[in-house]
Amino acid sequence: MNADKPNLPKTVGVWNRLEAPRIINSKNIFKYMNGAGELYLGYRFRHLEVFDYTSADQGNILVELYFMESPDDAFGLLSLDWGGEPVSFDGAPAAISNQYFTASTRALYGGGLLRLWSDDIYTRIMAERETPASKEAVLALGKAIAASTQNPPEPALVKLLPIKIDAGWKLRADRLSFFRSHLVLNSIYYLSHENILDLDLSAEAVSAPYQYIPGSGNPKRSQFLLVQYKNHERALQALNRFHDAYLPGYKKKITEETTADSLSLFKLEDGWIAYKLIGKHIAIVFESPDPESVRTILQKNESNLLKKGEGS
Amino acid sequence: MKDIMPVLTRRDFIRGTVGVTLGASVFGLQWPKEEARATVTSVVTVVRDKKAMDSGKNMDITVLEKMLVETLIRVTGQKNTKDAWLSLVKPNDVIGLVPTDHLNPTHDEVVDVVKNSLMDAGITEDRIRDAQGPRNAKKCDALIAIPGLKAHWLTGIGTVLKNYIMYSGSPSSYHQSNSAKLGEIWNLPFVKGKTKLVLVDSLYPLCDKGPQPDPRYQWNYNGLIAGTDPVAVETVCLKIITEKRKVIRGESWPLSPPPICVEAADKVYGLGTSRMDQIQIEHSGWDHELLL
């Protein structure tokens, strides 16, 4: 799906748009991002258009339109941080209105920065100085962008994660991220400086914590990761690499037979870890407080995956 | 049996085996033993003033000038700024100022205040250059690093050590596990030993999502952080960012990925100390949310 190009106004409040946008592609994004372009290249990035709105005495407003290959990629960029005040534009619900938090959140505002997911575009609109007038202008620009685009559903993989698990574990949807790159994974949940899960642009991954709040005492947390590969062979290969790198003390060759029926469970320094190969998916639970919890979280996710016909 | 190269993982940070694994997998050499290093103390100054920058990001240059004077006197132990500068550089040196030039750049006002202060000390304007980029640095006898304080989504922190990344000629090769090697840039022949002062613009730092600005994670710290030991200065910067993240979330919120370049700059490249117990912090001025 390729969105229509948003029609940005020439003037918004006291801000005037400079004529031509700066066009940034995968070659010059490193210069634009001061060497840190991998964040966008870690998703399927097409190009970036940068518009500058200037004012005489109220600072500038920067509009960045990241054109991605698919709405999933644009969603992924928004999902890296759900912080901020949800914003509603015409026809788009702003806050939690249905089962899934992320499905209804398309735009978030905070401190002068509006981040917006619409079609295959991820947008950042940032006022140099936050004032009531600049906030109004930023939101007006967001509305103009949303007006010419549609609201596709969130990535299918995201919807596979159960929100509640029997024993009281709840998904922290406000910390759920969708990604394809190990660099992005490391910025969410550090695993290794190396790409030990063989992630690349053909993979899809989602990670979020599950939290259990007991009647008394501190909340318990487990980090869940689900990766979908191109096919079963790639997933099997990746799981073997992960095991070798992350669990080198536990010698084991993962084969069809060893993974078909049982999950692999280990006690590590920071809690229990378990993984399972499910068709072309790998599911891993990290830092779980006990074997029962890790099993419960993994099995419920597996059953959801199979129920939705994603287990092959 | 074939040897498998160890891979640095989350578990190394939990077990405290980062050094061993990095030594074997990234550096191809033994991580120096802690006890083999001489005990040193590095002074890092943290000078703050509530009036340096207001909430509208308007800067008070007079306040900034006073903060620089205080910084120079405290770092060098000299009585005035002229003596302070001349204890750091020679009058005939070509001096390169190395600000962060893009994405949360060093404030121009900070660079201007440094330049004017050098000129007041008798350094002629034609001997003061912008030295960001390798071509410019090669022509300089002394460098003053003036980075902006920020977290970095690829390397954890992107302040002091990362400020010289363009000197490498290949910035993208210092990402991922190779970010541990950022310290080697400071030992390049045209860089080594030239840095006379590290002065971090911490007026409006960024504690997450850097280098792209995100105002939700920026705040008025209104400080200048300085020293002659780049690793010690970076370590203090790291502490401030880490503490601010705790304040924002109300719970521990470690930098991700962890900033392994800081410890490596100490233990592999010998650029200074990354141990807080070997750093003497001299704070003056505004003490609200000092984060140290």
B292 touches chain A (CB under 8 A): no
CB–CB of B6 and A248 under 8 A?
yes
- Locate A148 and state its tokens: 């010419």
Task: Please indicate whether residue A192 or residue B133 has the higher confidence score (pLDDT).
Answer: A192
- Cβ atoms of B154 and B257 within 8 Å: the answer is yes
Which helix (H) or strand (E) segment holds residue B29: the answer is none
- Locate B86 and state its tokens: 């001349």
Q: Say yes or no to pLDDT of B92 above 50.
A: yes
B13 touches chain A (CB under 8 A): yes
Q: Which range is least confidently modeled, A77-86, B28-37, B44-53, B114-123?
A: B28-37
Please, where are the H alpha helices in chain B?
10-15, 18-22, 61-76, 81-88, 108-120, 134-138, 182-185, 230-249, 260-267
Q: Say yes or no to pLDDT of B133 above 90.
A: no
- Token pair 């190396």 is found at A194
Q: How far is CA B249 from CA B215, B216, B243, B244, B254, in A?
A: 15, 12, 10, 9, 11
- Locate B142 and state its tokens: 């002394």
Q: Is residue A258 classed as helix, strand or coil in its secondary structure?
A: helix
- A245 to chain B, closest Cα gap in Å: 6
* Whole-number pLDDT of residue B6: 81
Measured between beta carbons, which residues in chain B are less than 8 angstroms from residue A270? 10-11, 14
User: By CA distance, what is B178's nearest residue in A?
Assistant: A193
Q: Say yes or no to pLDDT of B3 above 80.
A: no
* Whole-number pLDDT of residue A152: 87
Q: What is the 3-state secondary structure (H, E, C) of A124-180?
A: EEEECCCCHHHHHHHHHHHHHHHHCCCCCCCCCCHHHCCCEECCCEEECHHHCEEEC
- Token pair 């940034």 is found at A24
Q: Say yes or no to pLDDT of B2 above 60.
A: no
Q: Rounded CA gap, A248 and B20, in Å?
A: 15
Per-residue pLDDT band for B77 (boundaries 50, 70, 90) equals very high
- A75 to chain B, closest Cα gap in Å: 17
- Cβ atoms of A43 and A73 within 8 Å: the answer is yes
Measured between beta carbons, which residues in chain A are less than 8 angstroms from residue B8? 192-194
CB–CB of B102 and A34 under 8 A?
yes
A187 touches chain B (CB under 8 A): yes
A 88-127 near B (Cβ less than 8 A):
110-113, 124, 126
* Whole-number pLDDT of residue A257: 61
B171 touches chain A (CB under 8 A): yes
B 59-98 near A (Cβ less than 8 A):
none
B16 touches chain A (CB under 8 A): no
B263 class by beta-carbon count within 10 Å (0-12 exposed, 13-18 middle, 19+ buried): buried
Virtual torsion, Cα A226, A105, A171, B157, nearest 10 deg = 70
- CA nearest neighbour of A142 among A131, A120, A126: A126
B215 touches chain A (CB under 8 A): yes
Per-residue pLDDT band for B109 (boundaries 50, 70, 90) equals very high
Measured between beta carbons, which residues in chain B are less than 8 angstroms from residue A245? 7, 9
Q: Give ipTM to 2 decimals.
A: 0.89
User: By CA distance, what is B6's nearest residue in A?
Assistant: A245
- Cβ atoms of A206 and A188 within 8 Å: the answer is no
Measured between beta carbons, which residues in chain B are less than 8 angstroms from residue A244? 4
- Locate A252 and state its tokens: 């084991």
CB–CB of B211 and A190 under 8 A?
no
pTM of the model: 0.92
CB–CB of A191 and B10 under 8 A?
yes
- DSSP E strands in A34-139: the ranges are 45-54, 61-68, 85-86, 107-110, 113-118, 121-127
A245 touches chain B (CB under 8 A): yes
Task: Please indicate whether residue A91 or residue B67 has the higher confidence score (pLDDT).
Answer: B67
- A182 to chain B, closest Cα gap in Å: 10
Residue A239: partners with Cβ closer than 8 Å, 6 or more residues away: A254, A259, A275, A277, A282
Q: Rounded CA gap, B161 and B269, in Å?
A: 12
Q: Rounded CA gap, A68 and A118, in Å?
A: 11
- Token pair 């590290």 is found at B198
Report pLDDT digits (tens) over B207-253.
Answer: 998 999 999 999 999 999 999 999 999 999 999 999 999 999 998 89
**Considering Cα of A51, then A135, then B248, then B221, what sign does the dihedral take?**
positive
Vertex A202 angle, CA A198 and A204, to 5°: 80
Average pLDDT, consecutive stretches of 10 residues, N- to C-terminus, chain A (312 residues): 76 95 93 85 97 95 97 96 88 49 79 94 96 96 90 91 88 95 95 95 97 82 97 95 93 65 86 94 96 94 86 65
- B134 to chain A, closest Cα gap in Å: 15
Please, where are the H alpha helices in A162-255?
182-188, 232-246
Q: What percent of chain B has pLDDT over 90?
A: 74
Measured between beta carbons, which residues in chain B are less than 8 angstroms from residue A190? 10, 13, 254, 256-258
- CA nearest neighbour of B150 among B137, B160, B136: B160
Q: Rounded CA gap, A31 and A105, in Å?
A: 31
* Average pLDDT of chain B, as a whole number: 91
CB–CB of B8 and A193 under 8 A?
yes
CB–CB of B215 and A30 under 8 A?
no
Residue B232: partners with Cβ closer than 8 Å, 6 or more residues away: B42, B43, B44, B272, B273, B274, B278, B279
